[in-house]
Structure 1
Amino acid sequence: MGYINNVRGNWLIFFITLANAASMSWFGYDQGVFSGVLISKDFIHYFPEIKDPNISGITSSCFSLGAFFGAIFAFTLGDKMGRKRTIMLGLFANSVGAILQISAYHLPQMIIGRVINGFGMGLTSATCPVYQAECSKPRIRGKLVVVGSLCNTAAFCLANWMNYALYFSGGALQWRFPLAFQLVFPIIVITVLPFLPETPRWLLLQDRQEEALEVIARLAGKNVDIHDSEVNAEFLSIRSAIAAERENRLSIKDVLLFRDKTQNFRRLLLSCGTQMMQQFSGVNALGYYLPTLLQQSVGFDQQMSRLLTACNATSYLGAAFLCLLLIDLVGRRKLMLYGSVTCGSCYLIAALCLRQGGINPAQNKAMGAATTSMFFLYYFFYGTSYAKVPWVYNSEINSLGWRTRGAAAATATNWMGSFIVTQFTKVGVTNLGWRFYLIFAIIVYCYFPIVYCIYPETSRRTLEDMDEIFLQSSSVFVFRNSALTQRNRPQVFVDAENRRIAEGSKVDGETVLEEKRPQVSTHLETATQA
């Protein structure tokens, strides 16, 4: 552990990414594992109440409800506690909740355990992407945030294969072991996280300038010290952005009325919007209930439903790896636009196939196979778009002073959407049949004009560039401004960065050694290169 205290550069980024990835893995694992738990015979024996669709819904969705309150907690106290301590508190709540679930013999204990586990997940899922983003360079920031989300998907895949393997075991092992396995993830994080630094941006928010400068130097490379011109340039840029934000700070009322120059409330709404789009794409309708849906809507037996769910999770993991390559290469906007068209089309075709199978029983098997293939394709298209982009986007778009609150509000929106969708999926499928999937098709198609008109591009920008985006455009609509929609970093942002550094150099700072006045250099934008 003493070694971790001294690591610098890429190895330090590796350990930060490891902690973030393990935290997000827990999130994905829980989403995957409970779909198999719900249909385990021994689980149904101990908790026969879940045969009621409403009880089954609340047993699944109470996790999301707890996560919603965890994200709200991060919104109110995250900036005071710091990124690391917020994550540690989340891990503690996760562990308590997991132990309550593992040892449950009565439904109230199971539900309480899931709520507490969810509360911790709300804290970590709101904070981990911010922690990663604030420690990463612009050219790789998207990829590294996606790595955490990718591990989320890998854990989801692992959980589904575990569900299939344990189908053959029977007894309590079939569901208690998968619930117990989730405790592996906090062990990894707790081993590493206490020895990692706080983010330089949070340290500067707390006026801990010496520590911030040292952390920037540690993140920059093995042989880089605080006298390095690039380290000073980054320090001055962040410090200048904070000073400008404090100088122009308005009351909460004025922010909510869009009176601040950098439009913090608009940015918060945009980040919340990405998470709402993610959840109302219906992913948790399939994530928690795909084995149930394959049995109820398509007609497969339990073994085949588990096997297909595990295969689907593997395809989803492959899509997540592809997104890792595309997120910075293509940009955030294009991936969301593509996801709107493809995911909506999958739902539309699935709904029409189920309708045709209901009208003509002779075609039921063929239509069931076609519906299953649409579910597979949906996960592939979703995995390369809305599965990952919202987590990156809401960790980037908000200003420094609002980044934790913005990410927490977005995450709270995600979890509330998850709660609503999960709670009513089984009831919706029972009462609406094929029409239930048509609802999601219409909703997802509506995302295209929304993203096209009002969502600016955030890839290849520094986190301080985000203020410039909203200073450049007071209009809600961005699609006519190429500087706000192009993938590469616009020159106007480079010029603004130079001004911030020049202004920061004039400020009397006790911690910055300024033998030369640095200009925008490679720390900022290797990202300007294609």
Structure 2
Amino acid sequence: MPFVVGNVYVIAAVAVVGGALFGFDISSMSAIISTPAYLCYFNQGPLYLKTDGKCSGPTPNVQGGITASMPAGSWLGSLVSGYLSDWLGRKKSIQIGSVIWCVGSILVCASQGIGMLIVGRIVNGFAVGICSAQVPVYITEIAPPSKRGRLVGTQQWAITWGILIMFYISYGCSYINGTAAFRVPWGLQMLPAIFLFFAMLFLPESPRWLAKQDRWEEAVNVLALVHAKGDSNSPFVHKEMEEIREVVEFERANADVTYWELLKPDMINRTHIGVFTQIWSQLTGMNVMMYYITYIFTMAGLGSNVLLPSSIQFIINVVMTIPALLWVDRWGRRPTMLVGAFLMMTWLVVNAALLGHYSVKPYFKQFDSASESMSITGAPAKAVIACTYLFVASYAPTWGPVSWIYPPELYPLRVRGKAVALTTSANWIFNFALAYFVPPAFANIKWEVYVVFAVFCFCMFWHVYFLFPETSQKLLEEVEEIFDDTTPGSFKYLGTPAWKTKVDTKAVRFERGELDAEEKFAIHTQQEEAAAAAADTDKGADEK
């Protein structure tokens, strides 16, 4: 039998390298778009060449298209990943994503013009779409309830590390003369993908996917290895396997799952919640901060010294994600998202007010790009920079990790792969739209860009409060009960009112062996009744 890693932290640490690929892409663009080598190599002709000899690079619209090409590919990759994951398994899907990433990195590194650069970034995006959709599914299905949020949240932490590492690589390479200044970092992007492909060979497959394939013995072995140090007789392993078996046997009648099933009356609410979790995570404006931070800090008067101050926010992003990894399961998903939305809205409003009141139109040739359309100096400029850092510090422990943790917890096994693929595709289509929108937006509506994102944060706060239920520390099979609209006090098609749900520690206490026999019996009976009710509801819906 080949060696298989059983430590759940090691499994997560390897798998989330797929998330680091997204981080590498973000900062490989944000750190490079303001360098002379990039601006001159991809310069769009004499009309965009400054009289002082400096190149202004692509036009704002074209730069938006270059940046947005990666999330465009990710949108398609995330949708395809649902079928790929159900067919080949979670593990092989991630490995396929790593191979595609290497192909895209070769194309980007060898780019001979804007067209080839865009094609390479689309291929890279396709790989990121696969990995970003299926890494959370893989970890969600293999992690114990008490650690699920922490482990899935490491996806976001890996993204932040990818951003930070690649930014400093790109910054160091910016001192190289010629096109090597951007070709070297774009080529080095392949290294984590190569590591991911080979390291995944030593990780187990998802036990829930194995069960769907009738590979029951392997599923038991994986659960025992990961959750009980190899003890297949563990009560917790038996409990998990019983629930997985019940779900799989019922879902035999629904073997041919399509995306249309996610729009059925019993599934539409959680589909809308998962999709909007990813949409809102983009509409916070965080990735805009990441892609175009050099624009913002240049307008704040940092000039040629913009790269190092910009890197501070990437360090903040890494450090401030740690609290979520430690305590997000204890905090719960709802409070974390509510606090994050409120704080981000606050910093965006302050920045809008500062730029709206104190900024002026740049004088001729002050900045290299038309997107750098405002100039602010002195104390107000320092306040803009400080609020930008505070915005990142508010996003990092809240919407950053929770946007990856939350969607995979919402869905039953039979649709989880495709459902998370759909929700992740929503992330990427909005990432694409915003990446394309921001350069011309800064050029045309200026400080009002911050107002737009502040309004989004206001809306997401109330959306979460009224419609996003708490899923923390519940077994995946138990989350079904939240959406059961036949229970007392529930709403038609919605289930239990979101504001009445809370963190449930019973599953964790069971996992740790801390429940007495009476509590165990009560939980088991409750779960059987919930499963039976859900089965009757689904059967009735299918008959209709």
Shift of 1:358: 2.5
Alpha carbons of 1:409 and 1:481: their partners in 2 closer, same or farther (altered >3 Å)? Answer: closer
Percent identity (aligned) = 27
Alpha carbons of 1:43 and 1:201: their partners in 2 closer, same or farther (altered >3 Å)? Answer: same
Counterparts of 2:419 and 2:183, CA distance in 1: 36
Number of aligned positions between the proteins: 493
Alpha carbons of 1:183 and 1:341: their partners in 2 closer, same or farther (altered >3 Å)? Answer: same
Alpha carbons of 1:481 and 1:147: their partners in 2 closer, same or farther (altered >3 Å)? Answer: closer
Shift of 1:426: 0.6
Partner of 1:408: 421
1:136 aligns with 2:143: yes
1:55 aligns with 2:62: yes
Q: Aligned-residue CA RMSD in angstroms?
A: 2.7
1:265 aligns with 2:255: no
Counterparts of 1:276-291 in structure 2, within 5 Å, are: 276-291=279-294
Partner of 1:224: 231
Alpha carbons of 1:334 and 1:477: their partners in 2 closer, same or farther (altered >3 Å)? Answer: farther
Counterparts of 1:71-150 in structure 2, within 5 Å, are: 71-150=78-157
Partner of 1:166: 173
Partner of 1:520: none
Shift of 1:365: 2.2
- Matched to 2:317, the amino acid is Y
Pairing partner for 1:441 from 431, 454, 457: 454
- Matched to 2:224, the amino acid is A
Contact in 1 for aligned 2:140/2:408 (Cα 8 Å)? yes
Shift of 1:196: 2.0
Alpha carbons of 1:427 and 1:16: their partners in 2 closer, same or farther (altered >3 Å)? Answer: same
- Matched to 2:303, the amino acid is D
Partner of 2:197: 190
Shift of 1:154: 1.3
Counterparts of 1:251 and 1:34, CA distance in 2: 38
Shift of 1:220: 2.5
- Matched to 2:318, the amino acid is L
Partner of 1:322: 323
Deviations 1:52-105 (A, max 9, x none): 111101111100000000011013332122101211111111110001111112
Shift of 1:51: 2.5
Larger deviation, residues 128-137 vs 316-325 = 316-325
Instruction: Classify the secondary structure of the residue corresponding to 1:414.
Output: helix
Contact in 2 for aligned 1:135/1:199 (Cα 8 Å)? yes
Gaps of 5+ in 2: 45-56, 363-374, 508-514, 532-544
Pairing partner for 2:399 from 364, 380, 386: 386
Pairing partner for 1:155 from 150, 162, 186: 162
Shift of 1:164: 3.1
Alpha carbons of 1:109 and 1:363: their partners in 2 closer, same or farther (altered >3 Å)? Answer: closer
Partner of 1:37: 32
Partner of 1:213: 220
Deviations 1:420-445 (A, max 9, x none): 00001010011011111111111111
Counterparts of 2:257 and 2:106, CA distance in 1: 43
Contact in 1 for aligned 2:22/2:128 (Cα 8 Å)? yes
- Matched to 2:273, the amino acid is L
Counterparts of 1:475 and 1:35, CA distance in 2: 46
Shift of 1:128: 0.5
Counterparts of 1:165 and 1:365, CA distance in 2: 29
Instruction: Classify the secondary structure of the residue corresponding to 1:406.
Output: helix
Contact in 2 for aligned 1:478/1:485 (Cα 8 Å)? no
Partner of 2:536: none
Partner of 2:3: 4
Instruction: Classify the secondary structure of the residue corresponding to 1:157.
Output: helix
Pairing partner for 1:16 from 8, 11, 27: 11
Partner of 2:295: 292
Shift of 1:25: 1.1
- Matched to 1:276, the amino acid is I
Counterparts of 2:432 and 2:521, CA distance in 1: 42
Partner of 1:241: 247
Alpha carbons of 1:494 and 1:422: their partners in 2 closer, same or farther (altered >3 Å)? Answer: farther
Shift of 1:487: 5.1
Contact in 1 for aligned 2:174/2:181 (Cα 8 Å)? yes
Contact in 2 for aligned 1:62/1:114 (Cα 8 Å)? yes
Contact in 2 for aligned 1:62/1:111 (Cα 8 Å)? yes
- Matched to 1:287, the amino acid is M
- Matched to 2:3, the amino acid is I
- Matched to 2:302, the amino acid is F
Shift of 1:255: 4.3
Larger deviation, residues 35-44 vs 454-463 = 35-44
Deviations 1:346-378 (A, max 9, x none): 110001001121369997322111111111100
1:425 aligns with 2:409: no
Alpha carbons of 1:394 and 1:134: their partners in 2 closer, same or farther (altered >3 Å)? Answer: same
Contact in 1 for aligned 2:210/2:216 (Cα 8 Å)? yes
Shift of 1:184: 1.5
- Matched to 1:29, the amino acid is F
Contact in 1 for aligned 2:78/2:421 (Cα 8 Å)? yes
Shift of 1:482: 6.4
TM-score after normalising by structure 2:
0.84
Larger deviation, residues 326-335 vs 478-487 = 478-487
Alpha carbons of 1:172 and 1:498: their partners in 2 closer, same or farther (altered >3 Å)? Answer: farther
Gaps of 5+ in 1: 505-530
Contact in 2 for aligned 1:465/1:493 (Cα 8 Å)? no
Contact in 1 for aligned 2:301/2:376 (Cα 8 Å)? no
Partner of 1:357: 358
Counterparts of 1:478 and 1:290, CA distance in 2: 42
Instruction: Classify the secondary structure of the residue corresponding to 1:387.
Output: helix
Contact in 2 for aligned 1:452/1:479 (Cα 8 Å)? no
Shift of 1:3: 6.6
Partner of 2:472: 459
Shift of 1:33: 1.6
Alpha carbons of 1:15 and 1:487: their partners in 2 closer, same or farther (altered >3 Å)? Answer: same
